[in-house]
């Protein structure tokens, strides 16, 4: 009942925000004319380029995950991880249920490897590295916008806003990085492990130590973590290029530095799951943030609509892959073996819970 209520609220928020935005821009004759002209005269070659860049960004996301799994000593083909990543994007953007893309990625990997704890930890670390990459990119872009851009290009109010964004990005990067260091701390994990000496928690001790060991596998993998972070930054830059291509296709003008600054901030803000795939909330954020740097609201709204369409179309391969995997699940021996491995893994978890 609770899950249905949350899903219903998400749908209401998404539809409500989109209805408000369309009413706002279509009810004003001048804004309506600008918005419709911007959308109907778009250069589709640039929009196709944006779609290609988005798909490339999804693939680089899979590469980041691949690097992190190799650091754990889990050999999984990049092709399989790419499939799971596309499936995750599909679930994030199309299904209103509370089954997020990260859950589906972890579930797919657990089925493939029969190592559920390691799969879950790899998804968590992948998400943390991704957040660090977003905040780092925003911080660098803010530093450039505030300190490098010619003084005549930014007014006092804009410079003040950019400085505040810079501070937020630095603080966000510091907090996320600090939390990651704490998670990898061997002493902290040992200290937390003492809780499982209590009788009512002892059945969960084996599972906790498996998760702890999975985090510990990254403790001295500095090269792999740095490489994953670099790939994460590349992914963020590619998503910025997606917006640049869309703006070019809409015949608009937005300084690239603002796109590379605001794109990461909007992406991080959209992590909060209050709508369906960012529908509605993404457009509100685009109109608000780009308005702060002087971008016309109809252009910002048009950019958000086309970006949403690109994300939807780019996520469709995940749905095809998911349906194909379901169809093949009952006919291919390899998948039946994975199902048996999953049942064995679930049986082990039940044994741990009962203390056997």
Q: What's the number of domains the chain is made of?
A: 1
Q: What is the pLDDT of residues 151-207, one digit of tens each?
A: 444 556 777 777 777 788 888 888 888 888 888 887 887 887 778 777 777 777 776
- pLDDT of 11: 84
C-alpha to C-alpha distances, 207 to 113, 213, 236, nearest whole angstrom? 17, 10, 34
Domain span holding position 339: 2-354
Instruction: pLDDT band for 232, please (50, 70, 90 cuts).
Output: very high
C-alpha to C-alpha distances, 341 to 148, 211, 323, 331, 337, nearest whole angstrom? 56, 19, 21, 16, 6
- pLDDT of 155: 58
| CA gap 259, 242 in Å, rounded | 10
Average pLDDT score over residue span 271-294: 86
Task: State the chain's mean pLDDT as an integer.
Answer: 82
- pLDDT of 96: 58
- pLDDT of 156: 66
- pLDDT of 148: 67
Indicate the angle between helix axes 281-292 and 2-26, nearest 10 degrees.
50
Q: How far apart are the first and last CA of the chain?
A: 34
- 109 phi and psi angles, rounded to 5 deg: -65, -40
State what percent of residues in the chain have pLDDT above 70: 87
| Angle ∠(240,100,192) on CA atoms, nearest 5 | 105
Residue 98 predicted with pLDDT over 70: no
Q: What is the pLDDT of residues 25-43, one digit of tens each?
A: 999 999 999 999 999 999 9
Using H for helix, E for strand and C for coil, what is the string for the chain? CHHHHHHHHHHHHHHHHHHHHHHHHHCCHHHHHHHHHHHHCCCHHHHHHHHHHHHHHHHHHHHHHHHHHHHCCCCCCHHHHHHHHHHHHHHHHHCCCCCCHHHHHHHHHHHHHCCHHHHHHHHHHHHHHHHHHHHHHHHHHHHHHHHCCCHHHCCHHHHHHHHHHHHHHHHHHHHHHHHHHHHHCHHHHHHHHHHHHCCCCHHHHHHHHHHHHHHHCCCCCHHHHHHHHHHHHHHHHHHHHHHHHHHHHCCCCCCHHHHHHHHHHHHHHCCCCCCCCCCCHHHHHHHHHHHHCCCCHHHHHHHHHHHHHHHHHHHHHHHHHHHHHHHHHCCCHHHHHHHHHHHHHHHHHHHHHHCC
pTM given for the model: 0.83
């Amino acid at each position: 009942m609770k899950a249905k209520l949350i899903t219903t609220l998400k749908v209401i928020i998404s539809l409500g925000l989109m209805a408000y935005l369309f009413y706002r821009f279509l009810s004003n004759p001048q804004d309506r004319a600008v918005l419709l002209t911007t959308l109907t005269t778009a250069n589709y070659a640039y929009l196709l380029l944006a779609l290609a860049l988005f798909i490339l960004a999804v693939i680089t996301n899979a590469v980041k995950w691949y690097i992190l799994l190799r650091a754990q000593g889990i050999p999984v083909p990049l092709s399989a991880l790419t499939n799971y990543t596309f499936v995750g994007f599909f679930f994030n953007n199309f299904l209103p249920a509370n089954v997020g893309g990260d859950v589906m990625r972890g579930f797919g990997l657990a089925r493939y490897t029969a190592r559920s704890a390691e799969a879950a930890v790899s998804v968590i670390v992948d998400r943390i590295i991704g957040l660090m990459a977003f905040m780092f990119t925003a911080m660098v872009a803010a530093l450039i916008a505030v300190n490098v851009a010619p003084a005549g290009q930014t007014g006092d109010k804009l410079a003040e806003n950019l400085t505040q964004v810079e501070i937020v990005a630095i603080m966000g990067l510091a907090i996320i990085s600090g939390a990651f260091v704490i998670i990898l701390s061997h002493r902290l994990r040992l200290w937390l492990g003492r809780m499982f000496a209590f009788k009512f928690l002892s059945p969960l001790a084996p599972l906790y130590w498996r998760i702890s060991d999975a985090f510990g596998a990254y403790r001295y993998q500095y090269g792999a973590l740095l490489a994953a972070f670099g790939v994460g930054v590349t992914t963020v830059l590619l998503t910025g290029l997606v917006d640049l291509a869309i703006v070019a296709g809409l015949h608009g003008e937005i300084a690239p530095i603002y796109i590379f600054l605001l794109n990461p901030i909007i992406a991080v803000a959209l992590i909060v799951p209050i709508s369906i795939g960012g529908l509605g909330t993404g457009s509100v954020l685009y109109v608000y943030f780009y308005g702060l740097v002087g971008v016309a609201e109809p252009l910002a709204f048009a950019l958000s609509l086309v970006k949403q369409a690109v994300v939807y179309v780019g996520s469709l391969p995940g749905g095809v892959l998911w349906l194909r995997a379901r169809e093949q699940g009952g006919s291919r021996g390899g998948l039946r073996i994975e199902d048996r491995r999953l049942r064995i893994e679930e049986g082990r978890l039940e044994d741990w819970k009962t203390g056997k």
